[in-house]
Structure 1
Amino acid sequence: MYKEMAGMAGVEYLAGGATQNSMRVAQWILRKKHCATFMGSVGKDSFSKTLEEKAEEAGVKVRYQKQDDHPTGTCAVVITKNGACRSLVANLAAANHFSKSHLDVPENKALLEKAKFYYISGFFLTVSPETIQTIGKHACEHNKVFSMNLSAPFLCEHFKKPMMAAFPYIDILFSNETEAAKFSEVQGFGLTDIREIALKTASLPKENEKRSRIVVFTQGADNVILAKDGKVKEFPVVRLPEEKLIDTNGAGDAFVGGFLAQLVQGRDVADCIKCGIWAATEIIQRSGCTFPPDLRYED
């Protein structure tokens, strides 16, 4: 299938998946090369070369763990009906084989220790919970910011144990409304109101008591929910006319990228959310998680 698509006219290649998308968006907004470093696992093949080239073009510094026996993970995305429908077929391959040993490589260890902000997708719970624990503990011990994303409903249910092992280290949690509802169900909150779920999630036990947990729930075209310090705020989302909506694939990743781009600059949470909304709004007007290179964020 991938070979067939590669031979099609107009095929585009982007450096994915979810976390790498977020890092590309953050770099687009920050405009300073190598603010973001991404670590993941790839094969030794042409796709890994394309992946690295596309990430570097976006300004992201990549430190891939390269596998001898597994090809680079790929995801074919077919968009139809002017962006209204999408079909994704993923082959995770090497992406499923990242190991904690990659963090022990001297250059990687130096990058890890130098960083002040960390972001890990919930999908990584299926790959290396040990790595998540290592980074979470490091962030906690050095009072750095550790953020994660619930990423998918099935993770809340089928990977509950590693998710909750990581939870005490989470300073900032991202999720959409569907994932939040499943999390509430699995945790036995007995709640269905998105605001109440956000508050309850923010109040779960936390290791680093020097900062309060921030919970951010997106809801597509509905308000973004923020829970912190026992309070909830809502932020309106820009509603686009239907003719401008091209592709919602990557909107959540873009939101996180926009949020983090402001966070690392010391902006308050409200500014981070506003930038996240802006980034997501721009991305859904284009095909894939792409962005116009000359467009700049103005707060």
Structure 2
Amino acid sequence: MAYEGVLLGMGNPLLDISSVVDEDFLKKYDIKLNNAILAEEKHIPMYEEMASKPNVEYIAGGATQNSIKVAQWMLQIPGATSYMGCIGKDKFGEEMKKNSTAAGVNVHYLEDESAPTGTCAVCVVGGERSLIANLSAANCYKSGHLKRPENWALVEKAKYFYIAGFFLTVSPDSIQLVAEHAAAKNKVFSMNLSAPFICEFFKDAQDKVLPYMDFVFGNETEARTFSKVHGWETDDVAEIALKISQWPKASGTFKRITVITQGADPVVVAEDGKVKQFPVILLPKEKLVDTNGAGDAFVGGFLSQLVQGKPIDTCVKAGCYASNVIIQRSGCTYPEKPEFN
């Protein structure tokens, strides 16, 4: 099959400002490790402070964009992936364009003149990370951009779609348009639970689009939060994955498959009323650089095989391979060529 534009992602493009910090820094800004939150007033001075650190790195990020870039890297087929989101007309926006284009992704950004490009503070302590996103321009995405002929053409061309749950806070109507298109045209639509706060505070928006999801990705914390807000009274990740997979579907073309990662514990995959567990590639603690982008990389690796029609166990293996590569490097970055076979 032709792979040009086979996979389309939509989300919040953010420039990661990544730096190693200490416990005092976390305390000062009231940050919990291994969390993903939206910036509040109290967090704003933190971005300046991190930018002034000698070890600071800038990496084009945002959950969906990370996954799409990793899928592109794994595929090694120029233009196999496309991506849409909103950036500002500024130097961070230019940096983002340059970075994503160099990665081989066909980016169609909406450029907003009134807001700066979104940033995400990546606070790294002992290899663990916490993310504080200041959406800014990313928050300004409008479905009018998606409907422009040159952008809707990307939707028409794609056979697979991936959107992180974070985009529910920005443009649920854009998600709905793509989800309904996928269902009508027998294409594969996938999303990510993304963060506990999405499952809690954007429950209605998430529930509305869930029937369209052919693949649901997430981690164990998000799965347990999802279970809690739906009153399921279980903390068992396998059971939760199964219940999500059996949620009613908008289209009968594909069954739903739920894929939940659990850090160093096995990946849980629920489909057809059954649960399988796949071991991850264990990494000695001294080789861990930072976990930022590990979940995004897993999804990217998974999707790179899915779009080639590979079986689910191969998709999971590719996901585990990609996340193993990413956590040995700073931010969601990777070597020139993958060594996955």
| Smaller-chain TM-score bracket | over 0.9
Q: 1:86 to 1:100 in 2, by over 3 A?
A: same
- The residue type equivalent to 1:252 in the other structure is G
- 1:112 matches 2:155: yes
Match for residue 99 of structure 2 among 54, 71, 86: 54
1:23 aligned to which of 56, 68, 74: 68
Alpha-carbon shift at residue 2 of structure 1 (Å): 4.4
| Residue 71 in structure 1 maps to residue 71 in structure 2 | no
- Residue pairs, 1:1-299, within 5 angstroms: 2=47, 5-6=50-51, 9=54, 11-81=56-126, 83=127, 85-298=128-341
Aligned to 2:25: none
Describe the superposition over 1:205-257 as per-residue Cα deviations: whole angstroms up to 9, x where unpaired. 10111211000000000000000011110000111111111111110000000
Q: CA deviation at 1:266?
A: 0.7
Question: CA offset at residue 46 of structure 1?
Answer: 0.5
TM-score (norm 2): 0.84
Counterpart of 2:120, as a letter, is: C
| Cα separation, 2, equivalents of 1:80 and 1:190 | 33
Query: How far does residue 40 in structure 1 lie from its aligned partner after superposition?
Result: 0.3
Structure 2: runs of 5 or more not aligned: 1-45
Give, in angstroms, the shift of residue 78 of structure 1: 3.6
Shift of 1:293: 1.0
Deviations 1:171-229 (A, max 9, x none): 00001000000111111222221111111110011011121100000000000000001
* Deviation (angstroms), 1:295: 3.5
SS of 1:71's partner is coil
- Name the CA shift for 1:157/1:6 in 2 (closer, same or farther; >3 Å): closer
Amino acid at match of 1:15: A
Q: Where do 5+ consecutive residues of structure 1 fail to align?
A: none
Higher relative contact order (CA 8 A, sep 6+): 2
Q: 1:83-102: CA deviations, max 9, x gaps?
A: 2x434443110111111101
Distance 2:48 2:226 in 1: 38
Structure 1 pair 37–188 and aligned structure 2 pair: CA distance change class (3 A): same
After the TM superposition, which segments of 4 or more aligned residues of structure 1 sit over 6 Å from their partners? none
| TM-score for the superposition, normalised by structure 1 | 0.95
Count of equivalent residues: 296
Counterpart CA distance in 2 for 1:267 and 1:199 is 22
SS in 2 for 1:234: strand
Quote how far apart the aligned CAs of 1:11 are.
Answer: 3.6
Percent identity, please: 56
In structure 2, C-alpha distance between the alignment counterparts of 1:269 and 1:53, rounded to whole Å = 33
Q: Distance in 2 between matches of 1:207 and 1:198?
A: 19
- Matched letter for residue 137 of structure 2: A
How much has 1:15 moved relative to structure 2?
1.4
Q: What amino acid is aligned across from residue 100 of structure 2 in structure 1?
A: A
Find the residue that maps to 1:49 and give its secondary structure.
helix
